[in-house]
């Protein structure tokens, strides 16, 4: 007995296969709030501590954007040359995460290595081997955003 595959039959098989693939890809595990927070903080920190302030903006609240604009307005030609001459960029490690489900806020402690620290206005930046920072975040529309009330301050007393 011969089975002939008509064009309609083949098309139906293709549609069913695509639906199965689509269904399986949609049922992938959704990130938990903490996993999402860690991913957002990691992305923000990468961009912020490598002085890519425009790229860091999507990870911040709208009220935090003024601080990124302020930081970018204080970058001078000497700072840009220093950034270009770096052999490797800044890196970030998440040290501690505390989520307050009642207020939809979080506090994240991070360690940043090999970054350029802005100094006072009018002076050039300097290299820091390691610093500690605490970032605040808020859960808005099923996404975490960094909430800045100023520029992040290095909590380590001894600047390398």
Buried b (16+ CB within 10 A) or exposed e, 80-107: eebeeeeeeebbbebeebebeeeeeebe
State pTM to two decimals. 0.75
**Cα-based distances in Å from 46 to 29, 32, 59, 94, 141:** 25, 21, 11, 12, 23
Nearest-10 Cα torsion for 63, 104, 137, 37:
-130
Q: What is the mean pLDDT of residues 42-70?
A: 94
What is the Cα–Cα distance from 42 to 48, expressed in whole angstroms? 10
> What gap in Å lies between CA 83 and CA 115, rounded to an integer?
9
Query: Which tens digit of pLDDT belongs to each residue from 86-144?
Result: 777 889 999 999 999 999 999 999 999 988 887 666 666 778 889 999 999 999 999 99
Q: 156 pLDDT exceeds 90?
A: no
- Architecture per CATH, 32-147: Roll (3.10)
For residue 15, pLDDT beyond 70: no
Residues in the chain: 160
């Amino acid at each position: 007995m011969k089975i002939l595959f008509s064009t309609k039959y083949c098309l139906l098989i293709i549609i069913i296969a695509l639906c199965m693939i689509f269904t399986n890809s949609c049922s992938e595990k959704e990130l938990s709030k903490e996993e999402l927070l860690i991913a957002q903080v990691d992305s923000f920190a990468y961009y912020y501590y490598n002085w890519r302030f425009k790229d860091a903006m999507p990870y911040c609240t709208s009220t935090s954007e003024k601080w990124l604009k302020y930081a970018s307005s204080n970058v001078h030609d000497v700072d840009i040359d220093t950034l270009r001459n770096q052999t490797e960029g800044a890196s970030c490690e998440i040290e501690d995460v505390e989520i307050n489900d009642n207020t939809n806020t979080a506090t994240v402690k991070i360690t940043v290595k090999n970054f350029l620290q802005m100094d006072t206005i009018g002076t050039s930046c300097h290299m820091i081997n390691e610093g500690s920072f605490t970032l605040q975040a808020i859960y808005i529309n099923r996404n975490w955003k960094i909430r800045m009330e100023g520029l992040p301050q290095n909590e380590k007393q001894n600047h390398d």
